[in-house]
Amino acid sequence: MNIDNPYGLMALWAQGDWIAKSTLLILALMSMGSWTIILTKWLEQQKLAKLAALIDTSFWQASSIQAGTDQLPSHSPYRFVADSALEPEQRGRTLEQSIERALAKVQSRFSDGMTLLATVGSTAPFVGLFGTVWGIYNALVKIGVSGQASIDKVAGPVGEALIMTALGLAVAVPAVLGYNWLLRRNKLAMEHVREFGVDLSTSIK
């Protein structure tokens, strides 16, 4: 295989052993998973912002709580909270208990995927570090076999080690930043849903 840069990422994949390739695949899966969560959660939060605007402009202008609830999309967390508050029997719970239980479920739904981001952010550097250690080990093995520490003998494994370190950080940093950014947006969104629950409880009483 003709590779332009014998010490680059393509060379690492072409010449690396199964451990190096497995480490690269793990980092790639971590990166794809974290970016998928970041983009998915961002789109969800954009939709939630539109639903929040609908609550402020339309819901409270309806002729009744039931009428306002009926106009909310079925997937809306606001609809879920309102439906829970309007349950005829409320399954043996008080109005406040029903709303609080619904809010807890909404908050849990908001947290979906956040654990993965936290996990990737905290473990990806160590996965990259493992690749670094393995690359250095291969470099030492080649030195021992050849009996000389020439550049051509160790450049490949050392380059592999440095690439693994960089990739570990490249995967971890977006995951950590995405986690903190999404967490803040989730908190603001949840505060609005919780305020809606409180206003709903006051209006139904």
Does 189 fall in a domain?
yes
Does 3 fall in a domain?
no
Give the Å distances, CA to CA, from 173 to 122, 141, 168, 177.
9, 32, 9, 6
Does 2 fall in a domain?
no
- The pLDDT value recorded for residue 2 is 45
**How far apart are alpha carbons 11 and 31 in whole angstroms?**
21
- The pLDDT value recorded for residue 177 is 96
At which residue do the structure tokens 């139904």 appear?
204
- Which pTM does this prediction carry? 0.79
3-class DSSP state of 6: coil
Q: Residue 71: give the domain boundaries.
A: 9-204
- Tokens representing residue 12 in the block: 């690492």
- The pLDDT value recorded for residue 202 is 84
Does 198 fall in a domain?
yes
Does 129 fall in a domain?
yes
**How far apart are alpha carbons 24 and 95 in whole angstroms?**
52
Number of domains in the chain: 1
Does 50 fall in a domain?
yes
Give the Å distances, CA to CA, from 33 to 28, 65, 158, 182.
8, 40, 28, 15
- The series of mean pLDDT values per 10 residues for the chain, 205 residues long, is 54 70 91 95 90 82 84 87 76 79 91 92 92 80 67 65 87 95 92 89 78
Does 1 fall in a domain?
no
